[in-house]
């Protein structure tokens, strides 16, 4: 996402309610469906307390999420449906923290035999380190935060390359803490149309890192990933 993309999404955010105005009886509008998914993703329950993840909340309040989704829906011309009722030609909005989205089985990355500091990939599509390639005009990714419950995370910096454009490394040393959860909030959401790669700098030669990417995935029902 560059500055021109951001301008486009903010313009689309002004007409998101109109674009998502189709009524799904008895659930509500398409916009209601999207907001329900957003509310699910942004909220963390920890020891009977409720917390909100800051990056996705900020991106929603700014209108970037609604605008990006409205732009995508306007481009693909497909109706949004709740995931339980979606057909192959419907557009599904789902949480990004499903490893299957990236052709992975979990978000735990183990490594050994490295000379620190070293760089590892946090995405391993199909078991191979490197970028995840999207099916263009069939899916879109919005990434806003990365969270971990590791007591002593081995990752010091994160580098995201979206649609072939490497961003600046982001330090994880000042993560926002919610109890045992550490939240790495991206300065701006990353909106991906083609491919995404997430790399990390580690300061140990061996170890593991368990994380969850926070955001939304828009995908046509025809290519929605199953359980494996």
Pair 108, 210: CB distance under 8 Å: yes
pLDDT at 47 over 90: no
Backbone angles phi, psi at 61, to 5 degrees: -65, -30
Pair 30, 82: CB distance under 8 Å: no
Total domains in the chain come to 1
User: In the prediction, which pLDDT does 228 show?
Assistant: 64
Size of the chain, expressed as the number of residues it contains? 228
Pair 147, 181: CB distance under 8 Å: yes
- Tokens 């057909």, residue? 87
The rounded percent of the chain whose pLDDT value lies above 90 is: 81
Per-residue pLDDT tens for 10-30? Answer: 999 999 999 999 999 999 999
pLDDT-derived band at 115 (thresholds 50, 70, 90) equals very high
Per-residue pLDDT tens for 189-210? Answer: 999 999 999 999 999 999 999 9
Mean pLDDT of 33-43: 96
What Å distances lie between residue 44 and 37, 51, 108, 179, CA to CA?
Answer: 13, 5, 20, 11
| Residue 228 lies inside a defined structural domain of this protein | no
| Residue 34 lies inside a defined structural domain of this protein | yes
User: In the prediction, which pLDDT does 50 show?
Assistant: 80
Per-residue pLDDT tens for 142-164? Answer: 999 999 888 888 999 999 999 99
- Tokens 């329900």, residue? 36
Mean pLDDT of 76-90: 96
User: Rounded to the nearest 5 degrees, what angle is found at the Cα of 83, between the Cα atoms of 79 and 86?
Assistant: 50
| Residue 53 lies inside a defined structural domain of this protein | yes
Cβ atoms within 10 A of the Cβ of 154, count? Answer: 21
Exposure of 49 in the CB half-sphere (CA atoms within 13 A): 8
| Residue 143 lies inside a defined structural domain of this protein | yes
- Tokens 């995840």, residue? 132
Q: Average pLDDT of the chain?
A: 93
| Residue 162 lies inside a defined structural domain of this protein | yes
For residue 38, the enclosing domain spans 3-223
Give the dihedral sign, CA 128/109/204/167. Answer: positive
Per-residue pLDDT tens for 120-139? Answer: 999 999 999 999 999 999 99
Q: pTM of this prediction?
A: 0.94
């Amino acid at each position: 996402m560059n500055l021109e993309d951001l301008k486009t999404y903010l313009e689309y955010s002004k007409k998101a309610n109109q674009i998502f105005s189709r009524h799904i009886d008895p659930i509500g509008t398409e916009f209601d469906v999207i907001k329900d998914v957003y509310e699910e993703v942004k909220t963390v329950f920890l020891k009977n307390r409720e917390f909100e993840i800051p990056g996705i909340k900020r991106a929603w309040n700014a209108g970037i999420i609604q605008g990006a989704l409205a732009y995508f829906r306007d481009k693909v011309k497909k109706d949004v449906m709740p995931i339980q009722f979606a057909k192959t030609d419907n557009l599904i909005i789902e949480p990004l923290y499903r490893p299957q989205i990236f052709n992975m089985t979990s978000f735990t990355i183990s490594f050994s035999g490295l000379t620190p500091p070293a760089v590892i990939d946090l995405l391993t599509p199909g078991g191979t380190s490197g970028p995840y390639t999207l099916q263009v005009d069939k899916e879109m990714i919005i990434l806003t935060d990365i969270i971990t419950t590791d007591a002593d995370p081995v990752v010091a910096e994160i580098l995201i390359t979206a649609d072939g454009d490497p961003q600046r490394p982001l330090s994880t040393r000042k993560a926002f803490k919610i109890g045992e959860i550490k939240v790495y909030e991206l300065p701006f959401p990353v909106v991906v149309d083609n491919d995404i790669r997430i790399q990390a700098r580690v300061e140990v030669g061996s170890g593991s890192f368990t994380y969850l990417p926070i955001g939304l995935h828009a995908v046509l029902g025809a290519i929605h990933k199953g359980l494996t």
